[in-house]
């Protein structure tokens, strides 16, 4: 009898709760140097409570700092601090600068010029194969020769 009463009380509570507006408890946890904002929902179930909104939602190739990615994937419990992210960013920039300097140094030893890498845009980013540029021209020339 008491089990039946608990079920009725639970149904009544759920019915009353269905009329109350749901308050989202999603809170802003932090922001990285790209402008991406990271959020956490403590009430979410099954590890789906962490998310982010990039500054430019159209750019799918935007990088996420390693610290924030680890937090999003539940590899770390606490979100990274601004100081930690800044220190790692400075270290990353220093390593890139040192790598470019080393590459330039070794290129000078070998006597080869090193052009700084530039980002390809538009059709430059697609591969181009010389053997396929002339493909079909011989067939078209042969076909036009037979018509004459």
Q: Residue 71, class by beta-carbon neighbours within 10 Å (0-12 exposed, 13-18 middle, 19+ buried)?
A: buried
For 101, other C-beta atoms within 10 Å of its C-beta total 10
Q: What is the pLDDT of residue 130?
A: 76
Q: Would you say 40 and 49 are in contact if contact means Cβ atoms under 8 Å apart? A: yes
pLDDT tens string 24-42 = 778 899 998 888 999 998 8
For residue 56, name the pLDDT band (cuts at 50, 70, 90). confident
Higher per-residue pLDDT: 100 or 147:
100
Higher per-residue pLDDT: 129 or 82:
82
The stretch 75-86 carries a mean pLDDT of 91
Give dist(CA 38, CA 35) in Å, integer: 10
The pTM for the full model equals 0.56
Q: Would you say 86 and 30 are in contact if contact means Cβ atoms under 8 Å apart? A: no
């Amino acid at each position: 009898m008491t089990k039946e009463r608990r079920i009725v009380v639970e149904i009544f509570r759920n019915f009353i709760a269905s009329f109350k507006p749901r308050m989202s408890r999603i809170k802003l946890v932090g922001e990285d140097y790209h402008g991406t904002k990271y959020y956490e929902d403590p009430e979410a179930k099954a590890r789906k409570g962490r998310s982010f909104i990039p500054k430019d939602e159209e750019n799918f190739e935007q990088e996420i700092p390693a610290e924030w990615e680890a937090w999003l994937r539940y590899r770390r419990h606490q979100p990274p601090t601004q100081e930690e992210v800044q220190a790692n960013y400075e270290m990353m920039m220093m390593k890139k600068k040192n790598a470019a300097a080393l590459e330039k140094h070794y290129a000078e030893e070998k006597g080869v010029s090193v052009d700084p890498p530039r980002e390809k845009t538009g059709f430059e980013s697609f591969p181009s194969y010389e053997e396929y540029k002339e493909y079909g021209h011989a067939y078209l020339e042969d076909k036009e020769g037979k018509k004459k």
